[in-house]
C-alpha cells in the first residue's frame, strides 16, 4: 500500500540517466529545426568528450553558471548551477567543460570553462576580490557574495556600498529591501489575494484552501496558484495550534505530477528542513503561542482501544488482525498502527485524536489490497470519563485508497475552537482534510491541496 508521505523529487543516479536527461532537455530547449540535427551535434560533442576524457572537480565561481546540452552559448538551457557547486569533470573541449552535478536535482551538460575554478569560492575569498577590484567591478563581486551567503548582512552591505559608489541609488535601495526580506522576513498577504491556508510538510508548502468568512473553505484557484509562491514571500507559520514564526518561500516547483508547491525555510534557518512541519497562512489566524501536546493518560488509551475495537468488530475485521492493529505503533519500521494526539482545546478541555491505519492480508492471490482507516476523537464527558465526538471507519484500497493521519490544528474561523487538519495518504500522492466541530461533533468539511501523480 502507498505510504502517507509523498514528496516528488527527481533522482537520476546512474550515469546513463544523466546522459539521457541532457539529451531530452537539449531536444526540447534548443532552437534547431530538425531533431536529427540536434542529435548529431549532441552525439558529436559526447564522442569528442569520450575521445579525450579528463577527470577532476571544479567549482562554479560566478553567481550561477548556465549548463548547456551542447558546447555552444546559443544552445538550450539544461539548468542554472549556483555558485560554489561542485562540478565533476568528464572532459574539456574548445573552452567548454562537460560535467555533472549531484544532489537532489543532478544535472549533466556543458559549462563554459571560465565560469569554473579549482577551489570552491568562500566568503573570505570573495571579500578579498571585492577589496582588490576597481569600483566599477565591485558590484559583480558583491553579487557573488550575496549569492554565496544570502543570509549574512555583510554580503548585502557590500552590494549596497558598491551600488552607491557608482551612483545607483535606486539599485542600492532595492538591494536594501532584499536584505531586509532575507534577514528579517515578514508575513504578508498579497494585493487582491484571498485568505489562504497552506500545509507545510517537511519544508514544502502547498496551498490547501481558501478561507472564507463563517468557517467556509473553498478550493484554491488553479490559475492563481503560481502567484502564491513568489520567491522571498513570508507566511505566518503555526504548529500545535499556535504561532511559531514565519516561513519564507525559497523556490516554487511543480510536482512530478499534479500540484504546485514551494520549498520554504523557517527563519532563521537558511535552507529547507525536513523538521519544518505545520500550517501556514497569509493572514494572522491567532496570536497565541504553540503549546506542547498533552500526555495521553492510561484511561484515555483504554477508552480509545475499546472504541476502536468495537468499531472494527462492526466492520467484521478478523479478531487477530484487530489485536495486531491496536498493539502496533507507526514508526520507521512500521507504517501502520495507532497514533494518539492529545491537546488542550481551551473551553473543550483535553481533546484526544486517534488514527489507525492497518493493512489487511489479501483474501486471495488476485484480491485488491485493502486497509483499515479509522479516526476517533474523544472529549471529556465532565465526569472523569470520555465521550466520542467524532468517528470515521472505512475499508480502503486500490486506486481509491485514502488513509488518515492527524497533521495539525488551528482555529481558522476565530470561534475559539481549533479546526483539525488530517493528511490523507492516497495511491500516488497526498491531500489534506479539514474537520470542524459543530453541534458537539467533529466532521470533515473540506478536502484539498493534492500533490502527487
Calpha distance 303→66 (Å, rounded): 61
pLDDT digits (tens, 9 = 90+) for 221-251: 888 888 999 999 999 999 999 999 999 999 8
CA 68 → CA 23, 85, 86, 106, 219, distances in Å? 10, 16, 16, 14, 39
Residues 6+ apart with CB under 8 A from 173: none
CA 234 → CA 181, 204, 252, 269, 451, distances in Å? 8, 14, 13, 13, 21
Q: Which of 82, 117, 152 is the last residue of a domain?
A: 117
Asked if residue 84 is part of any domain, the answer here is: yes
Torsion of CA 125, 127, 132, 138, to 10 degrees: 120
- Assess whether pLDDT exceeds 50 at residue 126: yes
Asked if residue 205 is part of any domain, the answer here is: yes
Calpha distance 453→440 (Å, rounded): 37
Asked if residue 45 is part of any domain, the answer here is: yes
Secondary structure letter of residue 8 according to DSSP = -
- Which SS3 state, helix, strand or coil, does residue 92 take? strand
Beta carbons within 10 angstroms of residue 200's beta carbon: 25
| Mean of pLDDT over the chain | 89
Same domain, 446 and 304: yes
Mean pLDDT of 214-219: 93
Same domain, 42 and 111: yes
Calpha distance 311→218 (Å, rounded): 32
- Mutual angle of helices 15-29 and 35-51, in 10-degree steps: 140
Calpha distance 112→73 (Å, rounded): 9
Asked if residue 58 is part of any domain, the answer here is: yes
DSSP assignment string, 322-338: HHHHHH---SSS---EE
The per-residue pLDDT for 38 is 67
Same domain, 97 and 146: no
- Which SS3 state, helix, strand or coil, does residue 336 take? coil
Residues 6+ apart with CB under 8 A from 322: 309, 312, 313
**DSSP bridge partners of 422:** 406, 433
Query: To which H or E segment does residue 138 belong?
Result: helix 138-148
Structural domain including 264 reads: 196-281
Same domain, 305 and 417: yes
Calpha distance 76→66 (Å, rounded): 10
Beta carbons within 10 angstroms of residue 260's beta carbon: 17
pLDDT digits (tens, 9 = 90+) for 137-185: 999 999 999 999 999 999 999 999 999 999 999 999 999 999 999 999 9
Same domain, 84 and 209: no
Nearest to 23 by CA among 11, 39, 35: 39
Mean pLDDT of 197-211: 96
The per-residue pLDDT for 254 is 62
Same domain, 310 and 432: yes
The per-residue pLDDT for 62 is 97
pLDDT digits (tens, 9 = 90+) for 32-50: 444 566 688 888 988 988 8
- Assess whether pLDDT exceeds 80 at residue 383: yes
Residue 211 grid cell: 478561507
Instruction: State the CATH number of the domain containing residue 68.
Output: 2.30.30.40
Secondary structure of the chain: what % helix, strand, coil (to 5)? 25, 35, 35
Same domain, 40 and 109: yes
Calpha distance 328→312 (Å, rounded): 15
Same domain, 320 and 350: yes
Pairing of strands 96-101, 86-93: antiparallel
Calpha distance 77→61 (Å, rounded): 19
pLDDT digits (tens, 9 = 90+) for 18-32: 443 444 444 444 444
The per-residue pLDDT for 347 is 86
The per-residue pLDDT for 332 is 66
Asked if residue 287 is part of any domain, the answer here is: no
Same domain, 326 and 410: yes
Calpha distance 309→317 (Å, rounded): 9
Calpha distance 221→59 (Å, rounded): 41
Calpha distance 326→312 (Å, rounded): 10
Beta carbons within 10 angstroms of residue 103's beta carbon: 9
pLDDT digits (tens, 9 = 90+) for 346-369: 888 999 999 999 999 988 878 788
CA 356 vs. chain centroid, Å, equals 25
- Assess whether pLDDT exceeds 60 at residue 194: yes
Asked if residue 397 is part of any domain, the answer here is: yes
Asked if residue 218 is part of any domain, the answer here is: yes
Query: To which H or E segment does residue 165 belong?
Result: helix 153-165
pLDDT digits (tens, 9 = 90+) for 248-270: 999 887 655 567 899 999 999 99
Q: How many residues does the chain have?
A: 453
Same domain, 302 and 447: yes
Same domain, 219 and 139: no
Residue 61 grid cell: 565561481
Same domain, 303 and 375: yes
Asked if residue 73 is part of any domain, the answer here is: yes
Q: Which of 252, 281, 310 is the last residue of a domain?
A: 281
The per-residue pLDDT for 247 is 98
Residue 166 grid cell: 557608482
Instruction: Check if the beta carbon of residue 373 is closer than 8 Å to that of residue 394.
Output: yes
Tell me what percent of the residues of the chain surpass a pLDDT of 70. Answer: 90
The per-residue pLDDT for 26 is 45
The per-residue pLDDT for 32 is 44
Q: Which of 217, 247, 281 is the last residue of a domain?
A: 281
Alpha helices (H) along 258-407? 298-314, 319-327
Number of domains in the chain: 4
Amino acid at each position: 500500500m502507498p505510504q502517507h508521505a509523498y514528496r516528488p523529487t527527481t533522482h537520476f543516479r546512474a550515469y546513463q540517466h544523466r546522459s539521457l536527461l541532457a539529451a531530452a532537455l537539449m531536444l526540447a530547449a534548443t532552437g534547431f529545426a530538425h531533431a536529427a540535427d540536434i542529435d548529431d551535434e549532441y552525439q558529436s560533442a559526447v564522442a569528442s568528450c569520450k575521445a579525450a576524457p579528463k577527470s577532476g572537480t571544479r567549482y562554479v565561481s560566478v553567481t550561477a553558471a548556465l549548463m548547456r546540452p551542447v558546447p555552444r552559448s546559443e544552445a538550450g538551457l539544461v539548468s542554472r548551477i549556483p555558485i560554489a557547486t561542485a562540478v565533476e569533470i568528464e572532459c574539456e573541449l574548445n573552452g567548454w567543460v562537460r560535467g555533472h552535478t549531484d544532489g537532489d536535482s543532478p544535472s549533466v551538460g556543458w559549462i563554459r570553462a571560465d565560469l569554473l575554478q579549482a577551489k570552491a569560492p568562500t566568503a573570505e575569498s570573495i571579500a578579498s576580490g571585492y577589496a582588490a577590484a576597481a569600483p566599477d567591478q565591485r558590484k559583480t563581486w558583491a553579487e557573488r557574495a550575496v549569492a554565496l551567503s544570502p543570509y549574512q548582512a555583510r554580503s548585502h552591505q557590500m552590494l549596497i556600498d558598491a551600488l552607491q559608489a557608482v551612483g545607483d541609488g535606486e539599485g542600492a535601495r532595492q538591494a536594501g529591501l532584499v536584505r531586509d526580506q532575507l534577514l528579517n522576513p515578514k508575513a504578508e498577504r498579497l494585493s487582491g489575494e484571498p485568505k489562504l491556508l497552506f500545509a507545510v510538510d517537511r519544508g514544502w508548502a502547498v496551498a490547501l484552501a481558501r478561507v472564507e468568512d463563517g468557517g467556509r473553505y473553498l478550493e484554491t484557484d488553479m490559475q492563481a496558484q503560481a502567484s502564491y509562491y513568489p520567491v522571498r514571500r513570508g507566511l505566518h507559520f503555526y504548529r500545535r495550534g499556535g504561532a511559531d514564526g514565519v516561513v519564507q518561500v525559497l523556490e516554487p516547483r511543480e510536482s512530478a505530477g499534479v500540484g504546485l508547491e514551494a520549498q520554504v525555510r523557517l527563519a532563521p534557518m537558511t535552507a529547507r528542513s525536513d523538521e519544518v512541519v505545520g500550517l501556514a497562512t497569509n493572514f494572522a489566524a491567532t496570536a497565541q503561542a504553540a503549546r506542547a501536546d498533552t500526555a495521553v493518560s492510561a484511561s484515555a488509551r483504554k477508552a480509545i482501544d475499546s472504541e476502536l475495537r468495537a468499531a472494527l468488530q462492526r466492520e467484521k475485521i478478523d479478531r487477530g488482525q484487530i489485536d495486531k492493529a491496536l498493539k502496533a505503533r507507526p514508526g520507521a519500521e512500521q507504517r501502520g498502527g495507532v497514533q494518539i494526539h492529545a491537546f488542550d482545546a481551551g473551553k473543550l478541555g483535553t481533546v484526544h485524536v486517534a488514527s489507525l491505519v492497518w493493512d489487511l492480508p489479501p483474501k486471495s492471490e488476485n484480491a485488491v489490497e485493502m486497509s483499515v482507516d479509522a479516526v476517533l476523537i474523544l472529549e471529556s464527558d465532565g465526569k472523569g470519563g470520555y465521550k466520542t465526538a467524532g468517528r470515521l471507519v472505512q475499508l480502503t484500497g486500490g486506486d481509491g485508497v485514502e488513509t488518515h493521519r492527524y497533521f495539525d490544528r488551528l482555529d481558522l474561523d476565530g470561534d475559539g475552537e481549533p479546526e483539525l487538519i488530517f493528511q490523507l495518504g492516497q495511491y500516488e500522492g497526498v491531500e489534506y482534510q479539514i474537520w470542524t466541530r459543530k453541534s458537539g461533533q467533529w466532521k470533515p468539511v473540506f478536502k484539498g491541496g493534492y500533490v502527487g501523480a
